[in-house]
A and B are shown apart, each in its own frame.
Chain A
Amino acid sequence: MKQVTTPNLLGATDNTPNEGISSVGGHAQFTEMHPPLDARSALVESDRCYFCFDAPCIEACPTGIDVPNFIRMISNHNPAGAAAVILQENIMGGTCARACPVETLCEQSCVRNKEGDKPIQIGLLQRYATDTAMAAGETFFTREPDSGYSIGIIGGGPAGLSCAHRLAMLGHQVVIYESRQKTGGLNEYGLAAYKMLDNFAQREVEYIMAIGNIDIRHGMQLGDNISLSEIQSAHDAVFLALGLGACNMIGLTGENSQGVQDAVDYIRQLRQAEDLSQLPVGSQVVVIGGGMTAIDIASQTRLLGAREVTIAYRRGAENMKASVKEQEFAQTHDVRIMHWAQPVKLLVEQQKVVGVEFKSTDPTANQENFVLQADMVFKAIGQLLEPIDANRNIQFELEAGRLRVDVERRTSQFGIWAGGDCISDGDDLTVSAVQDGKLAAQSIHKFLNGTRD
């Protein structure tokens, strides 16, 4: 059987830090994936915008941000106005500016592409506006008079925070039940570190919470120290923003061996690490999966000094959930992407993983199995919805293993809404979670007003 090794293109040896690493206060940290625009560059870039009628970028944005309007405000030296336009549709405009796959959303729809030109850098302009406004301490939202209603939100990630903020604006009292010690969900624990420098997730959480009337209780684990029925009885409506739990299994023997890990667990550790140089990283890393998580874990471990990093994906490049730009980002960071490679066996010696055997699924090529040596194997093949009500008293309709919701984000259970990664049509993006939370809040508000009439 063939032994495949990855050529080390950079010639880096073992744990040699890459150019993507810098030292901040003596601690190793990633450098920024897309450095921000300065004021002058933002002016020049904003002037490229054609201010399209009924602009396609608005339609392409899951939260429907009025992109031409905010860009025009930047070009007219009004970044605060621009930030207000962004945040009124997307309270996490700051994170989305950093983490959105704009190349498949707003920037893909930009009419400049049709000219064979580069699209407007909408993501970076959005970041310029929101960063400028946040740095200046600009706030744009006030609460309506207290409604007397209280809403329980389970999960303090993007969907939960977005819903909470909108509900607070509408005059409602909100309690967020969060299992972890920090608020922010995947913004804090999941997004790649090189997208979210300088503790941005926490700064944004503070910015959002400043509206008031949002009470957050950390360490509340559904089914452990609190139940859905308890939350239901304490509030007038409930919004589930649970995210997803455990990683999918590959379904091979040896999955519990040392060196085989869930990508999301490692990224969580990485995001919380003060000094990246203290993180354990393998020498030969194999990542199984084809989504953004696969790209993120592969790029980050390579940046951390792994000698060889390979993403193995069971289908072709066009099937990968990670955008072409994300794939290129990984590849230009010396990560190899192998398509048409399905893991069939984990090679384990003394309880430690030493390699993965793959079969080729490429219908057009040699079907011979091959082995990638590995001392670290990451599973990045999606996560599962965890049980919501351990007692099974409250049953939800599911679709593809996740909660089924209607257009207003109502679940099959009366008085319970849901959004973010835990719902069936979620596309695992912060921006979609924010939209879910916003729509749910509007629906909850309508519902509560209806009950009062």
Chain B
Amino acid sequence: MADLTANFIGIKSPNPFWLASAPPTDKAYNVIRAFEAGWGGVVWKTLGEDGPPVVNVSGPRYDTLYGKDRSVIGLNNIELITDRPLETNLQEIAQVKRDWPDRAIVVSLMVPCEESAWKAILPKVEDTGADGIELNFGCPHGMSERGMGASVGQVPEYVEMVTAWCKHYSRLPVIVKLTPNITDIRHSARAAKRGGADAVSMINTINSIMSVDLNQLAITPTVGGKGTHGGYCGPAVKPIAMHMVADVARDPDCQGLPISAIGGISNWRDATEFMAIGASNVQVCTAAMTYGFKIIDDMVDGLSRFLDSKQMPSLDALVGAAVPSVTDWQYLNLNYVVKAQIDQDLCIKCGRCYIACEDTSHQAITATQVNGERHYEINDKECVGCNLCVSICPVEDCMSLRQLNSEVDTRTGKMVSGEYLNWTQHPNNPMS
């Protein structure tokens, strides 16, 4: 079996699966259970400055986007940072680190955007023996109203400044956790790098309103008749997080800046995908909050088998393996031509491909009767190879795309050469 040992900016863990800073890592009890279950590391739930702890709502903190079978697709929360005394957290961190020396413990921090506040807390964290710190510049609700969390993360200059303070006042590796609630996450990542960050972690939760309770006509979760936007996470945010991770991974200004990926990672496949597009390790929260810590078994086993199947001896071979496949639209090969095709033996005659193409796309599928049975065929003359039919076909492998090679595309009447031609080279491009 492949070696899953991870070394993330010098922080070692037996596998690359960490629990993200969130309720599952709020106290020793949970973290010990996670380590017993086999998690490689945790980012301890965000500590605030010394003094009276923050107060959470006692109404509902979470709300859920469900699939029809009540599977959890997305989760939203309005919980704040830890509401336990700083000293309690620090003592527990120190104890757990002593008891579990092979596991990674990174401490998430969020204090006011003042140098003195950071200067005060950093040595206390360092004294616990923790492996690193993560700067919470992402929390989108509550704390951001007080000038912390996302309100720092949304201003690259602040990101750089605070990162630099942390590097100055602590010897611990610094991970900067980025908020996705911005226009272009690369600016925040570059700022972190300029400030001296050892790595970035991304993404924090996305601003969201989950739903409107149609009986009360009030947004959810409803706390005494009112709600507020929360942070969205879970499987639904994975595509958004993937895009942001890939953007930073291939940004020339961010080269050499390791990424810890967060965002809807629920199983080994999600984790593997994130690592392939540039993450060195991954952090998990919603899946654990849905199923408990035991999901680590599948993650470790699945990733290990995958590496074996690809003959990758360790994680290094996987990290970033798919980054070269990410490019800008303008560099896609416009001479790559595909047509949809239907495996008639697998087709169950639901007609969904037909109606989707007919109503909403290119009228490239015909519906006829053959021997008294519904029959659907692709009309190559209209098919642009858009993949909609393949995407919505309910039967796996029934529909697929076929690549044209050295033959005439009946839609355009042109021979398909396959020769690479992108938009920057295309005769229709006025700029080419």
Contact = CB atoms under 8 A, between A and B. Distances in A.
Interface string B352-393: 101100000000000100000010000000000000000000
B355 A53 contact: yes
Interface stretch (B77-85, B160-168, B343-351): B343-351
Contact of B350 (A43, A44, A47, A50): A50
A266 B395 CA distance: 49
Interface in A83-127: 111-112, 114-115
B72 to A, nearest CB: 15
Interface in A14-53: 43-44, 46-47, 50-53
A415 interface: no
Contacts of A43: 68
B71 to A, nearest CB: 10
A55 to B, nearest CB: 8
Contacts of A114: 348-349
B352 A52 contact: yes
Contact of A52 (B67, B68, B350, B395): B350
Contacts of B374: 54, 56
Contacts of A44: 68-69
Interface size class, chain B: 10 to 19
A199 to B, nearest CB: 33
Contacts of B351: 52-55
B68 A111 contact: no
Given A53-B354, A54-B367, A56-B374, A47 B68 contact: yes
B292 interface: no
A301 interface: no
B147 interface: no
A77 to B, nearest CB: 9
A56 to B, nearest CB: 7
B394 interface: yes
A150 B186 CA distance: 78
Contacts of A55: 350-351
Contacts, number: 38
B367 A53 contact: yes
A115 B343 CA distance: 13
A75 interface: yes
A42 to B, nearest CB: 11
A52 B348 CA distance: 10
A46 B355 CA distance: 20
A56 B352 CA distance: 13
Which of A53, A111, A112: most chain B Cβ within 10 A? A53
Contacts of A53: 350-352, 354-355, 367
A46 B67 CA distance: 12
A75 B354 CA distance: 23
Contacts of B395: 115
B374 to A, nearest CB: 7
Nearest to B347: A114
A48 to B, nearest CB: 9
Contacts of A47: 67-69
Interface string B316-360: 000000000000000000000000000000001111101100000
Nearest to B354: A53
Given A56-B374, A115-B395, A51 B68 contact: no
- The 10 closest A-B CB pairs, nearest first, are A53-B351, A47-B68, A53-B355, A114-B348, A111-B348, A52-B350, A111-B350, A50-B350, A50-B394, A52-B351
28 contacts: A43-B68, A46-B68, A47-B67, A47-B68, A47-B69, A50-B350, A50-B352, A50-B394, A52-B349, A52-B350, A52-B351, A52-B352, A53-B350, A53-B352, A53-B354, A53-B367, A54-B355, A54-B367, A54-B374, A55-B350, A56-B374, A111-B348, A111-B349, A111-B350, A112-B348, A114-B348, A114-B349, A115-B395
Interface of B: 67-69, 348-352, 354-355, 367, 374, 394-395
Interface of A: 43-44, 46-47, 50-56, 75, 111-112, 114-115
